[in-house]
């Protein structure tokens, strides 16, 4: 009995500490899924799905998009042409997140930009929830919270906690996601990400990488995107109408023939996931930057192996949905 109580206390301390420091390790998400798996009857050769189940869909055998070469050529001519992990050992680098339970007090959300495309709140976002880039940052300031008691994901963009006169969060936009549902955002709506997609399911998390198995697609950004989207994305923020530019929601994969023999440890696991589950275009940003969690356990020397992979080693996967121009 004493051991059980001690274990519970340790778990609570770990949860609080990880939320405050935002550098890992993080509490487990169980029993919640991170969006549903595709139907068991789905062919392994099916195109990328138009719902949030796409995150968990293996696409290693899916058909190649007929415009793949044009997309890759455009991407590589509009920014860097090598893969880059947008996370690592600097403590504010990457996306931190919080895991909360039913006793977390919800706080009102005051929207400062895209309230008409945001979910109303209140959200169970702790006052001391870690902010992307750190409390003093002036960047995207994403805040991600998983409520594992309700299997809900809450994401804020440009979020600032305000203590007085009434505690609340100011944010440009915010979304509540049901982790048990594959439903996407309404057409034309943004989220905490430009594509109208959830951020959390596309993050490389240390625990899964260290365990040797990542079973979901990975979030990626490009410098120039088409003013269009393809489902499960629902929103665009492009700078061109060029049909060769990648729309939000476009899915890519590392080519099957690209050798992984020189990669080791977590880098090899991540590269293998890029073959099996691929990348999904989620926002504008530096070319070929893919996303992971803030975690003190990342080994930069190991992650740097992935910077050897050129953009030309990727191809575009055909999607079941057609491209929707804005």
DSSP 126-195: -TT---TT-TT--S---EEEEETTTTEEEEEES-EEE-SSS-EEEESEEEEEETT----PPTT---SSTT
Whole-angstrom Cα distance, residue 101 to residue 10?
Answer: 16
Q: What is the total count of domains within the chain?
A: 1
Give tens-digit pLDDT for 89-142: 766 699 999 999 999 999 999 999 999 999 999 999 999 999 999 999 999 999
Phi and psi at residue 305, in whole multiples of 5°?
-55, -35
Between the alpha carbon of residue 99 and those of residues 16, 26, 216, the distances in Å are 9, 8, 20
| 8 is a domain residue | no
Whether 254 contacts 313, CB under 8 Å: yes
Residue 95 within any structural domain of the chain: yes
Q: What is the pLDDT of residue 321?
A: 98
- Domain coverage including residue 172: 52-325
Strand duo 160-162 + 168-171: pairing: antiparallel
Contact status, residue 138 vs residue 28, Cβ threshold 8 Å: no
The answer on pLDDT for 287 being more than 80 is yes
- Could you report the per-residue pLDDT of 152-205, keeping only the tens digit for each? 999 999 999 999 999 999 999 999 999 999 999 999 999 999 999 999 999 999
How far apart, in whole angstroms, are the C-alpha atoms of residue 176 and residue 47?
27
Single pTM value for the model: 0.92
Which residue is listed with tokens 């399911």? Answer: 201
> Other C-beta atoms within 10 Å of 306: how many?
20
What pLDDT was estimated at residue 91?
A: 64
Structure tokens at 119: 């979910």
pLDDT at 216 over 80: yes
Q: Of all helices (H) and strands (E), which one includes residue 10?
A: helix 2-21
> Nearest Cα to 284, choosing from 209, 220, 223?
223
**Mean pLDDT, residues 320-326:** 97
Average pLDDT in the chain: 93
> How far apart are the C-alpha atoms of 268 and 261, rounded to whole Å?
8
The pLDDT value given to residue 23: 82
What order of strands is seen across the sheet that includes strand 109-111? 109-111, 168-171, 160-162
In a domain, 131, yes or no: yes
The C-alpha torsion from 306 through 312 and 313 to 318, rounded to 10°, is 120
Taking only the tens place, the pLDDT of each residue in 8-36 is 333 333 333 333 445 889 999 999 999 99
Is 210 within the bounds of a domain?
yes
Q: If you average pLDDT over residues 37-47, what whole number do you get?
A: 98
How high is the pLDDT of residue 22? 52
Q: Measure the CA–CA gap between 131 and 129, rounded to whole angstroms.
A: 6
Q: Is residue 250 part of a domain?
A: yes
* Cβ neighbours of 299 (radius 10 Å): 14
- Residue 164 neighbours by CB under 8 Å, 6+ apart: none
Residue 8: predicted pLDDT:
34
Listed in sequence order, the residues at least 6 apart from 84 whose beta carbon sits closer than 8 Å to its beta carbon are 286, 287, 288, 289, 290, 306, 307
Give domain status of residue 177, yes or no: yes
DSSP class of residue 262 equals T
Q: Is residue 295 part of a domain?
A: yes
- CA-based Rg of the chain, rounded to a whole angstrom? 19
pLDDT more than 90, % of the chain = 91
Percent of the chain residues topping a pLDDT of 70: 92
Inside any domain, residue 22: no
Q: How does strand 168-171 pair with strand 109-111?
A: parallel
């Amino acid at each position: 009995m004493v051991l059980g109580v001690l274990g519970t206390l340790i778990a609570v301390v770990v949860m609080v500490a990880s939320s405050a420091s935002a550098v890992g390790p993080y509490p487990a998400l169980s029993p919640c899924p991170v969006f549903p798996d595709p139907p068991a009857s789905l062919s392994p050769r099916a195109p990328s799905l138009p719902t949030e189940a796409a995150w968990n869909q293996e696409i290693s055998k899916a058909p190649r998009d007929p415009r793949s070469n044009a997309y890759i050529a455009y991407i590589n001519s509009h920014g860097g042409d090598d893969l880059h992990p947008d996370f690592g050992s600097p403590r504010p680098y990457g996306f931190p997140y919080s895991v909360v339970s039913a006793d977390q007090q919800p706080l009102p959300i005051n929207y400062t930009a895209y309230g008409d495309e945001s979910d109303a709140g209140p959200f169970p976002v702790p006052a001391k929830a870690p902010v992307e880039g750190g409390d003093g940052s002036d960047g995207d300031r994403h805040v991600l919270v998983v409520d594992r008691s309700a299997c809900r994901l809450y994401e804020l963009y440009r979020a600032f906690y305000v203590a007085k006169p009434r505690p609340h969060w100011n944010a440009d936009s915010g979304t509540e996601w049901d982790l048990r549902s594959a439903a996407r955002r309404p057409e034309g709506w943004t989220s905490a990400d430009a594509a109208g997609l959830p951020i959390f399911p596309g993050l490389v998390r240390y625990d899964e990488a260290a365990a040797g198995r990542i079973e979901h697609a990975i979030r990626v950004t490009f410098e120039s995107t088409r003013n269009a989207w393809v489902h499960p994305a629902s929103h665009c923020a492009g700078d061109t109408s060029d049909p060769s530019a990648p729309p939000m929601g476009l899915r890519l994969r590392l080519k099957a023939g690209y050798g992984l023999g020189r990669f080791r440890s977590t880098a090899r696991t991540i590269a293998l996931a890029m073959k099996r589950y691929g990348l999904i275009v989620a926002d504008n940003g530096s070319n070929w930057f893919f996303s992971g969690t803030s975690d003190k356990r990342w080994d930069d020397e190991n992650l740097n192996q992935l910077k050897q992979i050129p953009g030309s080693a990727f191809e575009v996967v055909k999607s079941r949905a057609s491209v929707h121009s804005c």
